[in-house]
Amino acid sequence: MTSLNGKSVLIIDDDAAMLRALNKVLSGEGAVVTSSCWVGGAMEHLTNKAKQFDLILTDLRMPFFGGRTIVGAVAVAFPQVPVIVLTAFGSPELQAQCLRLGAAAFLEKPLDTPQLLAVIQGVLSSLRPGSTRRAGRRGEVIA
């Protein structure tokens, strides 16, 4: 497993315990993690030009705006940043919808740490060096 050293990751989830757990796992792999418990805060982080993210992990269901909002906004404004959608309430229809919107992968909670790290590595390794586009077609399931 390749480490996530120096990779900047934005995590968006309204569950504080999930934010802490994901932060601990990814930080332990060397990632620089920024967390947000609401979509508005996440959008502030995304529009801050000083912050460049290599990856975004977002919960699907959150108050007011959910992961689909994040996926759609990022696909338009920051197409070079892959988004992985996490949910405890998945279905094949939701997965297909998120992938069509531009999600790089879709994972169901509870998360298995080795699987999460493998999916992250797969998503990050699918990026073409020096490119703003991911290798492969957008919405491809990596897991």
Would 140 be classed as within a structural domain? Answer: no
Euclidean distance between the first and the last CA atom of the chain, given in angstroms as a whole number: 15
Domain of 105, in residue numbers: 8-125
pTM of the model: 0.83
Tally of structural domains, the chain: 1
Would 136 be classed as within a structural domain? Answer: no
Tens of pLDDT, residue by residue, the chain (143 residues): 457 999 999 999 989 999 999 999 999 999 999 988 866 677 787 877 657 899 999 988 876 667 787 888 888 888 999 999 999 888 899 999 999 999 999 999 999 999 999 999 999 998 755 444 443 334 444 33
The CATH number covering residue 77 comes to 3.40.50.2300
Would 130 be classed as within a structural domain? Answer: no
Among the listed residues 125, 119, 97, 96, the one whose alpha carbon sits nearest the alpha carbon of residue 107: 119
* Exposure of 95 in the CB half-sphere (CA atoms within 13 A): 13
Distances from the Cα of 64 to the Cαs of 68, 77, 78, 85, 113, in angstroms? 11, 20, 22, 17, 28
Provide the β-strand partners of residue 108: 87
Would 1 be classed as within a structural domain? Answer: no
Instruction: At 60, list the tokens.
Output: 């699907």
